[in-house]
Structure 1
Amino acid sequence: MMGTLQALETIKLLSGMATPRNTLRLFDARTSNWRALALQRSRSCPVCGGGMQIWFNDEPLACADNLSVSALLTQLEQQQPGVALALNQHILPRDRWEDHLLQEGDRVLLFQVIAGG
């Protein structure tokens, strides 16, 4: 029953018949009572707080606004020696990673630099 109600609410949102209410509905099967918890948006949350979408290694990735390249790599645990980064098909020097803020739709490619003979 609960799955059907969740699916119905999703269909209503996707079809434009309803708008998000910022509440979480809870059902107590023991008492047959419904409760609603008010939810607040978190500006730091890429899903509910706005944010933007970029492409990281050819995969879509939701992230917060005003995120530096360095902060992104730290979040993804990719800050390591021996990697190079291309931003929108141009190599971005490591000394600019801290200051360069990502923009909506940016394409970030991270690759391991390998030297050999």
Structure 2
Amino acid sequence: MKIFCNGEGIELAADATLAEALLSYLEVRDAPAPKGLAVACNGDVVPRPFWSQRQLAEGDRLDLFSAVAGG
């Protein structure tokens, strides 16, 4: 299936979870998961404990955010 992560299309297995999508997205970019990472699926923030349980569907859109400290 095809989903979109930060606007980029990625192909995943039909039964992929949000956690698997993140691993795939970051692995392709050879990037570690940033600290303070938050993820929204189709506009709804998904709490970290549910990432491995959240099943994705064709066309889902993930937006990744990371917290930034500062003043």
* TM-score category of the 2 structures, normalised to the smaller one: 0.7 to 0.9
Q: Which runs of 5+ in 1 are unaligned?
A: 1-51
Contact kept, 8 Å, 1:54 with 1:62, in 2: the verdict is: yes
Using structure 2 for the length normalisation, give the TM-score. Answer: 0.79
Q: How many pairs does the alignment contain?
A: 66
Task: Give 1:74's aligned residue.
Answer: 23
Q: Which runs of 5+ in 2 are unaligned?
A: 27-31
Q: Is 2:48 the partner of 1:99?
A: no
Pick the aligned partner of 2:37 from 79, 83, 86.
Answer: 83
Superposed CA offset, 1:48-99 (max 9, x none): xxxx111110122221111111111122235442111010011111111010
Moved >4 Å (runs of 4+): none
Using structure 1 for the length normalisation, give the TM-score. Answer: 0.51
Find the structure with the greater CA-based Rg. Answer: 1
Task: Give 2:2's aligned residue.
Answer: 53
